[in-house]
Amino acid sequence: MSGKKQIAVTVDLDYWQQAKARGLNISEACNQGLRIVLGISNDEQQITQKIEERETELVYYREQLEKITKNREEAEGVKASEKDRYEQLIDMLGEDFQGHPYIGKDSIKEYALKLELPEDLAIKYVEDKDLFRIKNFHYEKPIEGKTSVYGMK
């Protein structure tokens, strides 16, 4: 080939960063890409080397994809299990406080701790469901012959 020409090329920022991180010569990479697209490369050894490089690249990208997929699946699994725990909270409150006029925030916090849920988010979730009347303290169901700590009988 005759000489070289300096030109400005616009490339994707992600590709440029990856190429720089791997220590690739951007000019040489562009020349190789043009040779491939133009079908100029006839050297068997060079083509074999390129195949090996691409296979190495392919392994790298498959590993990256596998990591991304695994992280996404783990995140979705956490979200699903957390949602199940919130539903379990509603079920437990419904069973244990059936017939009570209201549920105290302290009771919701207690159940949230058992289910390893953030207390404030658990209270907000129960409030949003609008299935229970919520007050700041728990309801003490009167027991025959016993005076409550609140002075009620």
Which tens digits make up the pLDDT trace of 55-105? Answer: 999 999 999 988 888 888 777 766 657 778 888 888 888 888 887 777 888
Q: Kindly indicate the confidence band of residue 115, based on its pLDDT and cuts at 50, 70 and 90.
A: confident
Q: Is 95 exposed, middle or buried (0-12, 13-18, 19+ CB in 10 A)?
A: exposed
pLDDT of 141 above 60 = no
Quote the pTM value.
0.40
Q: At what angle do helices 105-114 and 44-96 cross, to 10 degrees?
A: 140
Residue 153 has pLDDT above 50, yes or no: no
Q: What is the mean pLDDT of the chain?
A: 81
- pLDDT one-digit tens code per residue, 20-56: 888 989 888 888 888 878 877 667 777 788 889 899 9
Provide the pLDDT for residue 151. 53
Q: Where are the domains of the chain?
A: 8-41
CB 86 within 8 A of CB 122: yes
